[in-house]
A and B are shown apart, each in its own frame.
Chain A
Amino acid sequence: MVNNQNSNMSILLRGLLAENPVFILVLGTCPTLATTTGVVGAFGMGLSATAVLICSNFVISLLRKVIPDTVRIPCYIVLIAGFVTIVQMFIHAFLPELYETLGVYLALITVNCIILGRAEMFANKNTPGKAVLDGIGMGLGFTLALLLMATIREVLGNGSFAGIAIPFMQDHTIGMFVKAPGGMLVFGVLIALVHKITHGKAPVKKDFSCAGCPSAAYCKTGSACASAGQNPEKAEV
């Protein structure tokens, strides 16, 4: 429990930039692409995921000594799905329009790689305080990334920002950007840009191709990543 201010700060901040879950770790691609057609939806998605992430990180860290190793993944999934449903119910009750916008993607936070990934990589090894900081940092990093994507897509594709029309852009929209291909294009270019900026400092490829992969949890069991030809070690399940 003896942590100096500096390391707490770094836990909080690294999610924003150095280990941004979207651009550096390339986690949670599905919501990043699907819910960034508008700034409002992206913000809602980011905050919902952050709320779930903080809760799940906190509880998992709290229970890290109680949960047996063999059933930890089912336990995490139950906890995460539970928090997702609770967040979903609150949004349905108080922000019905956002609920409509996010649709099935709200429920799909359950399988968002970031949340299970952070549970497996950080929360079950650290104290609740640090886990919450990590949750806040990663969640905000996720939200910021979504907002960046959504801003580009909404301004170019719809000529508006958060639903408010932008005079000139309104008449010169590029519809593709709010459609599926536009999402992938913007995401690809942004990743390249982040690469360029953090050149040399960003984690090398193998860091995020396995540890950060969607099935990080299963990675330890060997089969999943071995199948993708990325991890030669193969352990028995």
Chain B
Amino acid sequence: MFKTLVVILMSSILINNYVLSRFLGICPFLGVSKKLDQAVGMGIAVILVMLIATAVTWPIQYFLLVPFGIDYMQTIVFILVIAALVQLIETFMKKAIPSLHKGLGVYLPLITTNCAVLGVTINNITDGYNFLESMVSSLGCGLGFLLAMVLFSGLRSRIDDSNIPESFRGFATTLIAASFISLAFFGFAGVVDNLFA
């Protein structure tokens, strides 16, 4: 049991990293990862939303959609739940923990349209994970997102300081640099399988 959870966690952080190998959440990855503190803020906000979204959507899927035979409503229900959740979290945070809201609040609205969040909730269902596994997988995906953001913010500050050919400035270089990081993450394939071998 514990072993399965660790394998799910590690593989969703390293091998199936949402940003670097599944291309989910690329937009904020490219847009927000310019400074380290922003990258960390966005990453933590994503982890938070992913965990809460999974905690809500998993029961909805199995206790509401499936029993009533309306699992084709999955996408529409999930996205609405996520949008509402993000709004709720933001409002709550603003009132209850203003200091945290100052740090994370600004990233929250960006997350509604972050495909990584919708992606993780749907993937947890399609992969047939139970509730605990879903939560661990969401945590892993969130941590993987944070890891990619932090790694990349370091790289971005260097790119900004370099003299790059005109046409490669901006997104082009960013994407190519992301490609190399993604290539480096290939090195983790096989590591997780043999974790307990």
Chain A positions within 8 Å of B, measured between CB atoms, are 26, 29-31, 33-34, 73-74, 77-78, 81-82, 84-85, 88-89, 103-104, 107-108, 110-113, 116, 176, 179-185, 187-189, 191-193, 195-196, 199, 205, 209, 213-215, 217-218, 221, 223-224, 226-229, 237
Contacts and interface: CB of A to CB of B under 8 A. Distances in A.
Interface in B13-65: 20-28, 30-32, 34-35, 38, 41
A77 B34 contact: no
Nearest to B168: A192
A227 B170 CA distance: 19
Contacts, number: 162
Contact of B113 (A113, A189, A196, A223): A113
A35 B43 CA distance: 25
B172 interface: yes
B192 interface: no
Contact of B115 (A30, A85, A89): A30
A181 B167 contact: no
Interface string B108-126: 0110111100110011001
Given A111-B114, A214-B28, A84 B180 contact: no
A26 B170 CA distance: 11
A185 B38 contact: no
B38 A227 contact: yes
Contacts of B27: 29-30, 113, 213-214
A215 B115 CA distance: 11
A110 B167 contact: no
Given A181-B180, A192-B165, 14 more contacts: A33-B23, A103-B126, A107-B74, A113-B27, A116-B113, A180-B22, A180-B182, A187-B175, A199-B166, A214-B31, A215-B113, A223-B109, A224-B106, A228-B34
B21 A180 contact: yes
A215 B72 contact: no
A111 B109 contact: no
14 contacts: A29-B30, A82-B76, A108-B115, A108-B118, A111-B79, A176-B183, A188-B176, A188-B179, A191-B175, A192-B172, A205-B170, A213-B31, A223-B105, A227-B106
A205 to B, nearest CB: 6
A74 B176 contact: no
A182 B32 contact: no
A184 B179 contact: yes
Contacts of B21: 179-180
